[in-house]
Amino acid sequence: MKKPLQLFWSFFKIGAFTLGGGYAMLSMVEKAVVDQKKWIPSDEFWDMIAIVQSLPGVFAVNTALYVGHRVAGKKGAFAAMLGAIIPSITIILLLATVFREYRDQPVVERIFKGIRPCVVALILAPSLRMIKSAKVTWKTAIIPVAAVFLIWWCKVSPAYVILAAIAGSLAYALYISNKTKGKEAEK
């Protein structure tokens, strides 16, 4: 089998069977790409994943593009990306069609009345976990609080909040690196 086709099939299986987002997927990609096919050595794979992870966009798509490109160039990148997203698109199209048909049924409406408050909890919980893992202190707590206030209360687009946060943290990172460089120069 040609490499782009193999890539498509590998990522298709991963896209079709991975529940629970990017990180659950990662171990399956590692298994397929590093262990079984031996397309990419393990250390290089994890180095690149660290970079890919910091890019915006869909993590699974970014990973597929990188692996595909590394293994079989542009064709490979395209094949892997299509493999990663086609299962999602197909399943959602089927479900959305079915849901549109039955959503007004009283039974479905009752079930979703129970589900909606749960969805709210499932969005709030990871955001607080993220604050914990970002090691937010009382001083830096102003950042998430300001973000919440701007978006929720003032209805500012989250896009502007992200842009402002990028500008702010880039300025801070530059300040830190200048400071350490200054110290090195003094020595």
Residue 28 interacts with other proteins (CB under 8 A): yes or no = no
Say how far apart CA 148 and CA 151 lie, in whole Å. 5
Question: Binders of other proteins among 72-91, rule CB under 8 A?
Answer: 77, 81, 84-85, 87-89, 91
Residue 5 binds to other proteins (criterion: CB under 8 A): no
CA distance 187 to 182: 9
166 forms part of the interface with other proteins (CB under 8 A) = yes
* Pair of tokens at residue 172: 């801070």
Does position 133 interact with other proteins (CB under 8 A)? The reply is: yes
CA angle (115 as vertex; 109, 117 as ends), nearest 5: 115
Of the residues 6, 7, 62, 72, which one makes contact with other proteins according to CB under 8 A: 62
- Residue 105 interacts with other proteins (CB under 8 A)? no
Residue type, 31: K
Please name the residues in contact with 184: beta carbons below 8 A apart, sequence gap of 6 or more.
none
CA 169, CA 175: separation in Å to the nearest integer?
Answer: 10
Q: Is 22 in the site for other proteins (CB under 8 A)?
A: yes
When binding is defined by CB under 8 A, the residue of 35, 104, 120, 138 that contacts other proteins is 120
27 interacts with other proteins by CB under 8 A:
no
Residue 5 vs 85, nearer CB to other proteins: 85
Total Cβ atoms within 10 A of residue 183: 9
Q: Taking contact as CB under 8 A, which single stretch among the options 1-9, 32-40, 166-174 is the one that binds other proteins?
A: 166-174
